[in-house]
Structures are given as C-alpha cells and as structure tokens.
Amino acid sequence: MMHETHINLWKKHLGSVPPEVWENTELETLVLADNDLVEIPPEIGRLRKLRMLDLGHNRLESVPEEIGDLEDLTDFLYLHDNALTSLPASMARLRRLRYLNISGNRLAELPAAVCEMAGLKELRVTDNAIAELPERIGGLSQLRELHLRNNRLTALPDAIGMLAELRQIDLRGNPLQRLPKAIAHLPKIEKIDLRWVTTLEAPAWLRKLEDRGCLVYW
C-alpha cells in the first residue's frame, strides 16, 4: 500500500483504518466509506496532499483536529451518514474545498468552521437537526448549491441574499414560517425546492422569481 496516490477501501468491513494507510504521504484520494469506523486517528494529518477524502457511512462521533491540516483538500470531503454532533474548528482552514457533505448526522447547528470555507461551491447538510443558520453563511461567496432538506429551520437569515453565485437551494421538509425577501434578488438563482413544507404561506415574490425563469417546487 506504500507510495500510492489513490486508495479505495470502500465497504471492506475494516472496523479501524490499517496503520499503513497513514504512511502514504503522497495520497491524493482516500476512500474509507462504509467500514463501521468509530474513530479516525490524528495521523490523518500526515496526508497533506489529499484532494478527496470519503469518510461517509461510518459511525464517527467526531473527527480529529488534524483534519484541518489537509489544506490541499480541494475536491470533495464526504462526512455524511455518521453520528457527528460538531466539527473541529480547525476545518476553517479548508478554504479551498469545493464540495462538503455533512448530511445524515446529528448536527443541531451549522458548525462555525463551515462558514469559513470560502471556496465551497456545494454544501450538503440534509437530514440533521439544525434549527437556524448563522448570518456568517453569507461569507460563502462561491456557493452554488445549498442543500438543507429535513432539518428544523423555521426561517433563513437575510445573509442568504449575499450568496450571489447561488443557483439551487433545497429546503424540503423544514417547518419554515418565513423566507427572507433577499432571496428574490439573488442574481443567479435557478431552483428553489419547498416541497413537504406545510407551515409557510408562499410570499408574493416567489411568483416573480418564477416569471424570470426560476423553478419553484412547492
């Protein structure tokens, strides 16, 4: 396994990561999905050349601070379908990461570090227990897709209007009571998904968005 640049250990029933994996300091892609992993050791910080990391479909309750050392992580980071309740502050250093999936965890709030990942183009946070989004989400100026299905959101912050590159926002299955009018002024918005939202009275400006070609699913 030494000196490889791509390792795929998907669904190998590992239980824990073989120690020799961390010796592959030239690794660019590492797939450890679906292995019943309960922890990731700090040695992951050695893999400074990683561009894609898949830790999805495991039993992780946390990830180590050293994940923030992977500053070349640019393509994908999958942490979905685990048991995470938070993310380490060090992940704020992953400012070149373009795709983050933290869906299917136990997050009650959007981790502060996520709002510092200025390079994100797609953020998936579906199937958590998030009740509100921070105003700092407006700092994700490159974001094109925001997936928030099946959380506990009753409103969105006005800072959503700062996401000038946003094309799609998925709000299905949230108990929304209010949407900020700032959404109506997003210059590139193409799709708003509000299916399974039964608590919201449709604001008049949604019709105007439809008139300009935005798909609104209700």
pTM given for the model: 0.96
- Alpha-carbon distances, residue 151 vs 7, 26, 107, 177 (angstroms): 33, 38, 9, 13
Q: Is 1 a residue whose pLDDT tops 90? A: no
pLDDT the model gives residue 83: 98
Q: Is 32 a residue whose pLDDT tops 70? A: yes
Per-residue pLDDT reduced to its tens digit, 137-159:
999 999 999 999 999 999 999 99
Per-residue pLDDT reduced to its tens digit, 64-83:
999 999 999 999 999 999 99
State the alpha helices, DSSP H only, in 45-196. Answer: none
Beta partners for residue 181, in sequence order: none
Q: What are phi and psi of 113, to 5 degrees?
A: -60, -30
As to burial, measured by CB atoms within 10 angstroms (0-12 exposed, 13-18 middle, 19+ buried), residue 13 is exposed
pLDDT band at 41 (very low <50, low <70, confident <90, very high): very high
Mean per-residue pLDDT over the chain, rounded? 96
**DSSP output for 124-165:** E--SS------GGGGG-TT--EEE--SS--S---GGGGG-TT
pLDDT the model gives residue 184: 95
Q: Is 59 a residue whose pLDDT tops 80? A: yes
Q: What is the mean pLDDT of residues 43-69?
A: 98
Report the distance separating Cα 126 and Cα 129, nearest Å: 9
**Domains in the chain, please, with CATH?**
6-217 (3.80.10.10)
Q: What's the farthest any 2 CA atoms get from each other in the chain?
A: 60
Residue 205: other Cβ atoms inside 10 A:
14
Report the distance separating Cα 206 and Cα 218, nearest Å: 10
Q: Is 2 a residue whose pLDDT tops 70? A: no
Beta partners for residue 7, in sequence order: 30
Per-residue pLDDT reduced to its tens digit, 204-214:
999 999 999 99
